[in-house]
């Protein structure tokens, strides 16, 4: 018998000073039976950090079927023609998946949050170094694990980003996350 997804609802109040994006967003997340609370919260974090500002003509950022369908990312933004503007994966995808995504989308972002991220990155970094539309971020493992304290069936979260730091709070508990850009050299070398 197949297990059902757990439905989580989140009301996000986003204040991203780095991108000048200020939004309120209601999100319904279907948590795959194999998905941890930590991964759900990193998905919400990725959504908040990449939500297009109001008035963006490239379409909305949406949760995709990453765990259910290997041909989809965890989140994506499509324009009105159906072209993929932004492909966002979580975890530690292999170099073939990142290369394929880079060919399908204008931008690709990966958020890795496991303690083994440095080992994974050492193995794939040279293979993806030529992909100019790829950004790979590490969410330090202790920080991503602290996000699970905020995970509920119904959440009201304030997300504030400034100077590369992100604070997520539910009004009682606050978690700070400082994403680390792993491929800064290849992204900045144009």
Question: What is the domain partition of the chain in residue ranges?
Answer: 7-188
> What is the pTM (predicted TM-score) of this model?
0.92
Q: 105 with 130: CB under 8 angstroms? A: no
134-138 and 105-112: which strand pairing?
parallel
How would residue 127 be classed by pLDDT, with cut points 50, 70 and 90?
very high
**pLDDT beyond 80 at 13:** yes
Q: Does residue 132 carry a pLDDT above 70?
A: yes
Q: Is the pLDDT of residue 75 over 60?
A: yes
Residue 184 confidence (pLDDT): 74
Q: What angle do CA 165, 176, 105 make, to 5 degrees?
A: 55
Per-residue pLDDT at 56: 64
Task: Provide Rg for the chain, Cα atoms.
Answer: 16
CA distance linking residue 53 with residue 120, whole number of Å: 32
pLDDT value at residue 186: 62
7-188: CATH topology:
Restriction endonuclease-like alpha-beta roll fold (3.10.640)
**Structure tokens that stand for 8 in this block:** 């989580």
Instruction: Give the model's pLDDT for residue 33.
Output: 86
Q: What is the largest CA-CA distance in the chain?
A: 51
- Give the model confidence (pLDDT) of 14-38 as tens digits: 999 999 999 999 999 989 888 999 9
* Average pLDDT, integer, range 149-156: 97
| H/E segment holding residue 127 | helix 117-128
Q: Which residues contact 59 (CB under 8 A, 6 or more apart)?
A: 52, 77, 78, 79, 80, 85
3-state secondary structure of 144: helix
Burial of 73 (0-12, 13-18, 19+ CB in 10 A): buried
The string of pLDDT tens digits covering residues 43-62 is 999 999 999 876 566 778 88
């Amino acid at each position: 018998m197949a297990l059902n997804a757990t439905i989580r609802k989140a009301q996000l109040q986003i204040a991203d000073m780095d991108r000048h994006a200020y939004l309120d967003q209601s999100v319904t997340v279907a948590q795959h039976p194999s998905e941890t609370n930590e991964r759900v919260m990193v998905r919400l974090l990725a959504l908040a950090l990449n939500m297009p500002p109001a008035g963006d003509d490239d379409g909305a950022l949406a949760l995709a079927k990453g765990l259910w369908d290997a041909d989809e990312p965890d989140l994506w933004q499509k324009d009105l023609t159906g072209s993929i503007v932004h492909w966002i994966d979580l975890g530690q995808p292999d170099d073939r998946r990142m290369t394929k995504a880079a060919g399908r989308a204008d931008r690709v972002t990966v958020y890795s949050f496991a303690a083994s991220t440095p080992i994974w990155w050492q193995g794939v970094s040279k293979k993806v170094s030529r992909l100019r539309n790829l950004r790979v971020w590490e969410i330090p493992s202790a920080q991503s694990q602290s996000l699970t304290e905020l995970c509920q069936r119904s959440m009201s979260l304030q997300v504030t980003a400034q100077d590369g730091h992100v604070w997520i709070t539910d009004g009682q508990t606050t978690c700070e996350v400082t994403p680390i850009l792993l491929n800064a050299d290849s992204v900045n070398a144009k």
